[in-house]
A and B are shown apart, each in its own frame.
Chain A
Amino acid sequence: MKTNRILKTFLWVSAVFVLAGWARAEQTLTVVSFGGSYARACVEGYHKAFTEETGIRIKLEDYNGGLAQIRAQVDSGAVHWDVVDTESAPLLTGCDEGLFEYVDDLELPPGPDGTPASEDFFDGMLNDCGVGTLIYSTVIAYNPEYIEGEAPTSIRDFFDLEKYPGRRGMFRAPTTNLEFALMGDGVPPDKVFEELSTDEGMARAFRKLDSIKEQVVWWETGAQPPQMLADGEVVMSTAWNGRIFNAQVLEKQPFVIIWDSHIRDTGFMAIVAGAPNLENARKFVAFATSTRAMVGVANRISYAPVRRSGLPLVGKHVEAGVDMQPHMPTYPDNSRNFLWNDVEWWSERQDELTERFNAWLSR
């Protein structure tokens, strides 16, 4: 009799646990992001607020970008990611390959003053498969400890080995380098892609890269440029502005960013095709692309909001107390001379140019 009662209790307890687990499982959401200081900024900036408001628990995973893992999940039908942070180029490729859900019908919250989302977002931030979350820049940064004489001020100085001898860091891919090369050769930003579309322009870009090739150290991950600058491995490097900001403000490195001729791009958020928690994922994307969430991130890492209403609300860094405005890629003083990455242009030529770039590298 007694065993029977124990068994009964046991069954009841397990049933309760199973039900509770089931109910909880329904209320979780797997969000995949790039990790590091950026993911931390997102957690503090809006993940916590989202969970508080909706009761949906967020399970955060890291990845290194790219589409291989997403495609593997979608192709095999075993999707366990819901929302991913992605960059503009993979977003376009992934959308073409059917790896992302359409979000063009998503109802996005208006700006704080009631401006509808369609007007509040900058142009090009609303894609069929993704919603823009932030603006970042590839910039030129240098370490003044290794520079003698007058400080470099423009992209021309980056390509001037006589005036500023020493090694340079550059991203090991054709993207950003061809554009920097032409701007360093005197092409104004608004003519860069036009020029690159011609054979002569392309040859001109490679010639410019040739002129410093022997002095270039090629980097592959965003963590490398600040490291190489700190170690004196290079005196100047192209880098993502958020990484340089981190080194400047949190690690007290003396690095300086040359905002002349930086290249801007957009970070997007997308939903994986066949996401297990589609409805919650849609809620999350709408929440994460509200002005409040973007400002929450921008107050922790120097990536700018993609809404017009966002930038004026950016204030001081939450921990370091530094004014964040001058670190934003979109800050007026930083925006005198810059280039928007043309992701459509790249998507047509990426494969061909990567082959050509690698062939050039190994010569």
Chain B
Amino acid sequence: MAFPKPQATLRSATGIPTGRLAVWWLLASEVVIFGGVLGSYLMHRLGHPEWADAAIHTNTWIGATNTFVLLTSSFTAVLAHQAAERGDGKTAAKFLLFTIGGAFTFLGIKSYEWWYEISHGYTITSNGFWAFYYTAAGLHALHVIAGAIIMGIVAFDAWRNLELQRVELIGIYWHFVDVVWIFLFPLLYIAK
């Protein structure tokens, strides 16, 4: 089954393919969403010197490992796009599956990390730092889950050489999820 294509994707007033324009619009709104959370975190962190006592409990190595996982999954996502550009749907689908593997690895590591922290008493209600920690990383994890689901749908079609332009579109979204993590990592893990 190929997923139906909306009429709007067949025309373009801007000279940019409509699907890609839509993804960029989505990301422009995401910038404000994550920007709002991270900006609020930053101003509170600067106003609350005592948060440093909480921040020392985050595990830099787990954060770094997850950064490595997301960077690698971004790399496979762009390789999927490259394959789609060549018209090689099967290879594109394989690289998308690698990327989905990256998403699950990320979520698995994050689950362990949260389980460890929550079982040691650091919960979302412990103090302001932990409230932001779980909110920002949780919102990001929801985006990872959404990306993995959409990538599954796109890979399903791409395997049969259908709708290959969507490989690029989900890739752009996935790189954005990567970029958000690139900023979450120093904010939550490195700045002690």
> Do chains A and B interact in one complex?
no
Interface residues in chain B, defined as those with a beta carbon under 8 Å from any beta carbon in chain A: none
